[in-house]
Each structure stands twice: as C-alpha cells, then as structure tokens.
A = this chain, B = another copy of it.
C-alpha cells in the first residue's frame, strides 16, 4: 500500500487508529478454546468487528512466536482475513547484517505479505536497507519508543555540537536510506514533548504511535503536536480494545472501544487537518 492510499483510507474512515493484535492465548474468552485455532478465531472476530473503524492492524509478533510453529500458522491465517485496504504492520523489531535482514524481509514481505515491519536501528544502514527494496512496503524504524528504557540510549546527547539526541541522529541518518514513501517511525505517545523535534527532521513521514491508553499517553496531545498535512499518524491501541471484555461479547465490546477512539480521532482530524 502506498502513502497516498493510506491517507485516502484515513479520510474515508475518519480514523487513524491502528489496532494492536497482541493476542495472548491466556487471555482469550473461555468459549473460544473449543475452536481448532482459538488465537485465529479471536483475531478473526476482532477484525470483523473493527475493520471499518481502523486503518491498520499491528500483530505483535512475539505473541505468535511464543506459541511455536502453530503461532505462525495463526498469524498467517489472521493476515489472510484482514481486508486489503487495511494497512498491516508486523511488529517484529528485527534488524541484522545485510544478508540476514534480507531473509527477515522475505519472511514478512513475501511469505506473509505484510505492508510494513518494525525495525531496530542499532546496526545501521545495511541492517535496514534490505527492507526498503519493494514498492508499497515500509520500514517502521524505532526512533523514540514509549517505554522507560527509551531514556537509556535514545535520549543520550551527542558530542557533535548539535545538541541533538541519539534518536534525532537516527531520524536524520535514516533519511539517507529512504523517504516518507518507504519509511515510518515509532514515536511513543508518552514522548509528546519531543514530537516537534521529530517533525523538524521528518515532516512528511508517518509516525506509528504506541503508548496511548495502558501506557499513559494522550491521543489529543500527540495529535496536536504530530499531525501533518496527510495526517501522518497511526495511533496504536491494543489491550484497551481487544481485551475490552473477556466474555461472549468480546468482539462487540472491542467495537465499542474502537468506535470511541474513532470518534475522538474524527474530531481531531476536523480540528487539525489543514484541508
């Protein structure tokens, strides 16, 4: 999917919601355990109930990997029931030397046809570039993450006289590898005070924003500071939507939770998007 197509979906659905499919086998509603593949059945019903309210789904790959080979089968089946107009993000945080990153790119872009994959920047150019070779596919590079550990290295200041933080150097350097048509960035909603610094370096790129909800970030704050002319935001919510209920009504309640966020996003788009 291209950046233009993603923006069209945002306008059509009045939403920039990304739903995190962090599907934990231990948190599934009891009645799903009778299905042959409970994880897939859970995802299928969540997707059916919410696909008109969101523009992206983001399976957290660890949840599937922790289930062994069966987890990868559930993931593949999940991908197949996501409507083609919804952007897909493999939240895998991969990244290795060139010939190895090529294999990860093959796993997520060819074998599984994801639209994008999250990538860690520590190993530099040749660990990221193999993910940038296919049109309509995106790297979502870690820049400033939502967790406490983001302080350890991402917020270190560099000696080059620029007074910049490491995450700004990551943004700047990565612009030599790709552009807004094949790179997005992870910027946590808990980092709203730094979003203007992000936008100075990558004004046009989409930001994938985790950390609203369970981690304490504010949707309104991150939207006011981070939105650009094409919205440029995908705000992720996982637990607050997919685990809104653990009963028979889990999909219905997930829809209600997603609808509440979509309504808030609709208002923010009206307020902030320069037409």
Residues of A within 8 A of B (CB): 22, 60, 62-63, 65-66, 68-70, 72-73, 76, 91, 93-98, 100-101, 103-104, 106-107, 111, 120-128, 142, 145-154, 156-160, 163, 166, 169-170, 173
- Asked if A103 contacts B69 (CB within 8 A), the reply is no
Most buried by B among A98, A101, A159: A159
- Asked if B104 contacts A124 (CB within 8 A), the reply is no
- Asked if A170 contacts B147 (CB within 8 A), the reply is no
13 contacts between A and B (CB under 8 A): A60-B96, A62-B103, A65-B107, A68-B76, A91-B96, A97-B145, A97-B149, A128-B149, A156-B159, A157-B158, A157-B160, A159-B163, A166-B166
- Asked if A153 contacts B126 (CB within 8 A), the reply is no
Partner of A158, one of B158, B163, B173: B158
- Asked if B124 contacts A152 (CB within 8 A), the reply is yes
A125: which B residues are within 8 A, CB to CB? Answer: 148-149, 152
Cα(A22)–Cα(B126), bound, Å: 18
Cα(A247)–Cα(B68), bound, Å: 33
Instruction: Across the A-B interface, give the 10 residue pairs with the lowest CB-CB distance, nearest first.
Output: A124-B149, A124-B152, A62-B103, A157-B159, A69-B69, A66-B103, A69-B72, A126-B149, A97-B147, A125-B149
- Asked if B156 contacts A142 (CB within 8 A), the reply is no
Known: A148-B125, A149-B126, A150-B124. A69 touches B66 (CB 8 A): no
Shortest Cβ distance from A125 into B: residue: B149
Shortest beta-carbon distance from A3 to chain B in Å: 25
A156: which B residues are within 8 A, CB to CB? Answer: 158-160, 166, 169
A22: which B residues are within 8 A, CB to CB? Answer: 100
Shortest beta-carbon distance from A185 to chain B in Å: 13
Shortest Cβ distance from A127 into B: residue: B149
A103: which B residues are within 8 A, CB to CB? Answer: 62-63, 65-66
A157: which B residues are within 8 A, CB to CB? Answer: 158-160
Beyond A62-B96, A121-B152, A122-B142, 15 additional pairs, beta carbon < 8 A: A65-B104, A65-B107, A66-B107, A68-B111, A69-B69, A69-B70, A93-B94, A93-B123, A122-B153, A123-B147, A124-B151, A124-B152, A127-B147, A152-B173, A157-B160
